[in-house]
Amino acid sequence: MRAIDLTNASWRKSSYSNPDGGECVEIAPDLPSVVPVRDSKDPARGTLLFETAAWARFIDEVKRTES
pLDDT at 3: 78
φ, ψ for residue 63 (rounded to 5)? -65, -40
- DSSP per-residue string spanning 1-32: ------TT---EE-TTS-TTSSS-EEE-TTSS
Give per-residue pLDDT as tens, 5-45: 898 899 998 877 766 766 688 999 888 889 999 998 888 89
pLDDT at 15: 76
pLDDT at 34: 93
Q: Please, which pLDDT band fits residue 55 given cuts at 50, 70 and 90?
A: very high
